[in-house]
Amino acid sequence: MPKVIICKTDDEVAKKAAAIFAKQIRSKPDSVLGFATGSTPEKTYAELARLHKTEGLDFSKVRTFNLDEYWGLDGDHNQSYRYFMNDRLFKHINIKPWNTFVLDGTAVNPMLECKAFETKILAVGGVDIWLLGIGNNGHIAFNEPGSPVDSRTRLVSLTQSTIDANSDGRFFKNPADVPRCALSAGIGTVREARKIVLLATGSKKADAIAAALEGPFTPDCPASLLQDHKDCTFILDSAAASKLKKKY
């Protein structure tokens, strides 16, 4: 079962998550890191940027892979996940742009794009740690409920719940603007990471967290499919942990 760390605040969640990534980078400077987008990891990226600036945390040999990208958005679009990563993290640290891999939402052939992404992960020896968020509906990356445990990187449709969550003013202004499809790493792709760190903050995530940790192992809650991973840690704030019944 995943290890569970419950923090008082989302600032503490970010500090703990960044510390895990900093330790990984210091012990293996050419680490392969998996990253996520969304509101939840923003403070973690700010903390990693701070560690680079104030403590010289060195990203010069690090390689990164991102979970997903909206289908149809190019990397210059301000809601694309390539733009998000450049803006929140990459431009603040000394990572080499050519060592950052975000799926291309405008690729001519999405199947080839997804295959190439998986091949690149294999070519660098697999992902050392993958950072994840969780959707209100339990999704990880854009693997919506029903996604198989062995799914691979592919073109997927977004559920209405995800479209609504991403057009609540934080990102898109209204649901009609949200792309209906995305390229997403599969659950099987993510589960192959040697270590997984899932973050959740806020009460909107409480039901999904309870289902992921204390419900059955089922594609109905994609995050529950991490229950048998051998090195997975959930870092939660008290609001996201508020519906857990067991003591952690």
Catalytically annotated residues: 68, 137, 139, 144
Q: How far is the CB of 13 from ligand PGA (least distance, A)?
A: 11
For residue 21, the SS3 value is helix
Q: Which stretch binds ligand PGA (CB under 6 A): 38-46, 91-99, 149-157, 187-195?
A: 38-46
Contacts of 108 (CB under 8 A, 6+ apart): none
Which residue in the set 18, 21, 25, 40 belongs to the binding site for ligand PGA (CB under 6 A)? 40
Q: In whole angstroms, what is the distance from residue 185 CA to residue 150 CA? A: 11
Binding flag, residue 38, ligand PGA (CB under 6 A)? yes
Q: Is the dihedral of CA 172, 17, 140, 136 positive or negative?
A: negative
Q: Among residues 38 and 110, whose Cβ is nearest to ligand PGA?
A: 38
Nearer to ligand PGA, 99 or 196 (CB): 196
- Confirm or reject binding of residue 138 to ligand PGA (CB under 6 A): no
Report the residue from 12, 39, 75, 116 that binds ligand PGA according to the rule CB under 6 A. 39
Tell me the window of 26-34, 71-79, 133-141, 181-189 that interacts with ligand PGA (CB under 6 A): 133-141
Compute the least distance from the CB of residue 35 to ligand PGA, in Å.
12
Q: Is 79 in the site for ligand PGA (CB under 6 A)?
A: no
Q: How far apart are CA 195 and CA 233, in angstroms?
A: 8
Distance CA(80)–CA(221), nearest Å, equals 25
The answer to whether 5 touches 235, Cβ cutoff 8 Å, is yes
User: Which listed range, 6-14, 116-124, 132-140, 218-226, lies at the site for ligand PGA (CB under 6 A)?
Assistant: 132-140
CA distance 243 to 239: 8
Three-state secondary-structure class, residue 154: strand
- Say if CB 232 and CB 226 are below 8 A apart: yes
Comparing CB distances to ligand PGA, the nearer of 105 and 133 is 133
Footprint of ligand PGA on this chain (CB under 6 A)? 38-40, 133-135
